[in-house]
Amino acid sequence: MDNIQTGLMVSAIGLIVTFSALGVFIGVIVLLQKLFPPKPQAKISAVEQSVMAISDVSKESDDSDEALVAVLAAAAYLRSRRSGQLGSTLLAGPGPYRTSRN
What does pTM read for this prediction? 0.38
pLDDT of residue 47: 56
pLDDT of residue 22: 97
CA of 46: how far to CAs of 7, 25, 37, 56, in Å? 56, 33, 22, 15
Give me the residues of the chain with pLDDT under 50, please: none
Range 93-101, long-range pairs (CB < 8 A, 24+ positions): none
pLDDT of residue 38: 80
